[in-house]
A = this chain, B = another copy of it.
Amino acid sequence: MAATKARLVTWRDNEHVLDEHVRYRHKQGMTSPTTPRASRRERPAKPPLNRPGIIEAALRILREEGLGKVTMRRIAAALDTGPASLYVYVRDTEDLHAQVLDALLAPVGATPRGQGWRDTLKGLLRRYMDVLLAYPELARMAMSTPASGPHYLRLTDQILGLLLEGGASDHSAAWAVDLLLLYATAHAAEHGAWKASARAQAEMTALASAVLDADPGVYPHVARLSKSLMAGGPPRLDWSLDLLISGAVQAPEPVTLSKERS
Contacts and interface: CB of A to CB of B under 8 A. Distances in A.
A257 to B, nearest CB: 7
Interface in A44-79: none
A106 interface: no
Contacts of A160: 221-222, 225
A194 interface: yes
A84 interface: no
A120 B251 CA distance: 21
Nearest first, the 4 closest Cβ-Cβ pairs linking A and B are A174-B228, A144-B193, A186-B186, A160-B221
A153 B222 contact: yes
A22 interface: no
B243 A257 contact: no
B211 A153 contact: yes
Interface in A198-254: 199-200, 203-204, 206-207, 210-211, 214, 218-222, 224-225, 228-229, 231, 233, 235-236, 239-240, 242-244, 246-248, 251, 254
A19 interface: no
A174 B140 contact: no
A111 interface: no
A28 interface: no
Q: Per DSSP, are chain A's interface residues mostly helix, strand or loop, or mixed?
A: helix
A88 interface: no
Interface of A: 92, 94, 98, 136, 140, 143-148, 153-154, 156-157, 160-161, 164, 170-171, 173-179, 182-183, 185-187, 189-190, 193-194, 199-200, 203-204, 206-207, 210-211, 214, 218-222, 224-225, 228-229, 231, 233, 235-236, 239-240, 242-244, 246-248, 251, 254-257
A80 to B, nearest CB: 29
Contacts of A203: 98, 145-146, 148
A116 to B, nearest CB: 18
Contacts of A156: 219, 222, 229
A255 B161 CA distance: 28
A231 to B, nearest CB: 7
A239 to B, nearest CB: 5
A144 B254 CA distance: 32
A235 B247 contact: no
